[in-house]
Structure 1
Amino acid sequence: MGILNKIAKPFINLFIFSWDFVLFILNVITPNLKPGHVVPAGHPGHNLQWPEYVPPKEGDSRSACPMLNAMANHGILPHDGKNIPFREMSAKIRTTFNFAPSFCLFVPKFAADFLDRSYWSGKFDLADLSLHSKKAIEHDASLTRQDVALVPDQSKPDLGLVHDLLKQATGTMPDGSPRLTIPDLSRALSKRRVDAERTNKEHYTEDLGHNMFGSSNSSTMLTLFGGSINDLTPMLTEEKFADNWEPRVLSRFGLTFAKFNFTVIPVERGVDKKAIQKLEASENSA
């Protein structure tokens, strides 16, 4: 990262989060978008019509993020997942998932920074985002991937982990189908962190920053997908959009950090590794 970028970074972040708060207020005082009209006209997914799903082929680049992979699998991002401008990713995440523009600037710019590239002119491959370091996004104890020390290729989901997660659902959607809740995700993260620490003894790392990223990634299942198991199953197993899916965030200016934290913080605060360890010890002694 250049010296000028390092100097400018705190000021850029201050601008982004101030902007985000303004958008949060605007969302409160303006009417929501109508269901069925979340994705703007002229963009993939408008009127619930997504481009054809094509699984990745040999040589295609994929990340540890199911949603970015799904965008490539549907051709919203380049299908090979390579040479993607950071600014293009920002724009397409905005229209595909209805994240606020502040969100769509911060996260890709954060990625550009930890890859030591320019957000304004730089490009990346999806696999680059799986960089495992303290300054990056990829973290141990993912709910859909084994730790990178155990499985270096983070491009594909671990279906065992995914199905374990989906079975955690205790809630119910309006149509009667199963739904993940905040306590479900907290419990799943608790179990996953205990298990990852046990199976990845030599290399497991955990800190507040990566734990918050883990809870943030998990919380998209509740915000964008409403916790719906019917919608999450194709996304997490095949990394594709469910038929007739659209983001469940109806806010006119998209999902802001300010609003997102109403989900992320309760999810992370509900994580209780000691309770899981105590339960396992009790079951083992029974």
Structure 2
Amino acid sequence: MHVALGSVWLLATAVVAVPVKDHPFKAPGKGDLRSPCPLLNSLANHGYLPRNGRNISSEQFYTGLADAVNLERALGDGPIAGAISTSTTGLPDTANLNDMAKHAQIIEHDGSLSRADTYFGDANSFNLSVWRQTKAYFRTPLITIAQAEQARQAAVRNAQRTNPEFSLADGEKTISVLETALYLYMFGNGTNGFANRRWTEILFEEERLPFEEGYARPKTPMNLPDLLVIAGKLNAVNVTAGGIYGRHHLF
């Protein structure tokens, strides 16, 4: 049944969408700031957020996420509030994108899918070696929930093995699961998984929204209840005996 659903979704996503002309991709230049989050970086690279990554207001964060990928406000509340609360801009209700790189405070955590741990020096920039280990688990054109969770847990295992100061508190575990749920939600079939692998690779590797490859802003807002359904399915995947931490509750 999963194969059939996945085949239907692959056909559906094969339709090429017209790129959003008002938001062309432009790679960051010298002095532009970026975060540990490929989605937020993509929004800046397309101009949905200020391209320099600086002095971004909370409303700009919310509007950019809604305009680009139709993300409802509740999904941005935590990271945006966290960035504002630890902002280095010196201006009220604003943050720089790299303010989100503060270790274990907002969204950055050990065992990332595409970043090295803070222990190794740079947890903010894309790390090809880490990402290659992650995407090795994406064995089909559509990423299943099981593949995504295998990749997530492998990233945590690799970090545990190589980082003598590895730490992943309960809140960070939740962020780790929700990050994986988010790309499955963005590029997949509702709450069923089957994320388009190529689109996912583009988001992480190029920090670009894959409009040219057929992605289109969803008509229905991406919402918290659906994201939690996917997160619950990830949490139920028994990759090892009980998973890395055993079965744990998200909240």
Any conservation in 1 of the 2:183–2:200 contact (CA below 8 Å)? yes
Aligned to 1:238: 206
Name the counterpart of 1:52.
Answer: 24
Q: What is the identity, as a one-letter code, of the residue corresponding to 2:230?
A: T
Partner residue, 1:282: none
Mapped contact 2:25–2:45 kept (Cα < 8 A) = yes
Name the SS for the 2:118 alignment partner.
Answer: coil
Partner of 2:196: 228
Residue 194 of structure 1 is aligned with which of 157, 176, 198? 157
Partner AA of 2:81 in structure 1? K
> 1:117-266 alignment to 2 at 5 Å?
121-133=92-104, 135-154=105-124, 156-171=125-140, 178-201=141-164, 203-226=165-188, 227-242=195-210, 243=212, 244-247=214-217, 249-251=218-220, 254-266=221-233
Q: Distance in 1 between matches of 2:64 and 2:238?
A: 32
Aligned AA (1:169): F
Structure with higher Rg: it is 1
Identity %: 21
Pair 1:146–1:106, CA change in 2 (3 A): closer
Q: Is the 8 A contact 1:140 1:148 kept in 2?
A: yes
**CA 1:209–1:58: 2 relative to 1, 3 Å:** same
Q: TM-score under structure 2 normalisation?
A: 0.78
**Mapped partners of 2:241, 2:183: distance in 1:** 25
What's the secondary structure of 1:164's corresponding residue? helix
Aligned to 2:35: 63
Give the superposition deviation at 1:88: 1.0
Name the SS of the counterpart of 1:224 in structure 2: helix
Q: Structure 1 pair 184/82, CA: closer, same or farther in 2 (3 Å)?
A: same
Deviation at 1:269, TM superposition (A): 3.4
Question: Residue type of the partner of 2:150?
Answer: R
What code does the residue aligned with 2:130 have? L
Contact map agreement 2:146 2:237 (CA 8 A) in 1: yes
Deviation at 1:189, TM superposition (A): 1.4
Q: Distance in 1 between matches of 2:48 and 2:132?
A: 27
Task: Say if 1:111 and 1:137, in contact at 8 Å, map to a contact too.
Answer: no
**Equivalent AA in structure 2 for residue 218 of structure 1:** T
Cα distance in structure 2, aligned partners of 1:106 and 1:255: 15
Rounded to whole Å, the distance in 2 between the matches of 1:275 and 1:216 is 19
- C-alpha contact 1:100 1:255 (8 A) present in aligned 2: yes
Retained in 2: the 8 A contact 1:189–1:271? no
**Other-structure match for 2:191:** none
| C-alpha distance in 1 between matches for 2:204 and 2:26 | 15
Alpha-carbon spacing, 1:272–1:206, altered in 2? closer, same or farther (3 Å)? farther
Contact 2:135–2:151 under 8 Å retained in 1: no
Q: Which amino acid in structure 2 is aligned with residue 264 of structure 1? A: A
Cα distance in 2 for residues equivalent to 1:270 and 1:124: 36
Amino acid at match of 1:145: R
Shift of 1:224: 0.5
Q: Which runs of 5+ in 1 are unaligned?
A: 1-34, 37-45, 172-177, 278-286
- Residue type of the alignment partner of 1:222: L
Match of 1:267 in 2: 234
Secondary structure at the counterpart of residue 187 of structure 2: coil
CA shift, 1:111, in A, is: 3.2
Distance 1:273 1:121 in 2: 46
Q: Which structure 2 residues correspond to residues 30-45 of structure 1 after superposition, within 5 A?
A: none
Q: Could you give the per-residue CA deviations for residues 71-108 of structure 1, whole angstroms, max 9, x where no partner exists?
A: 11122211111111112111111121111233244542
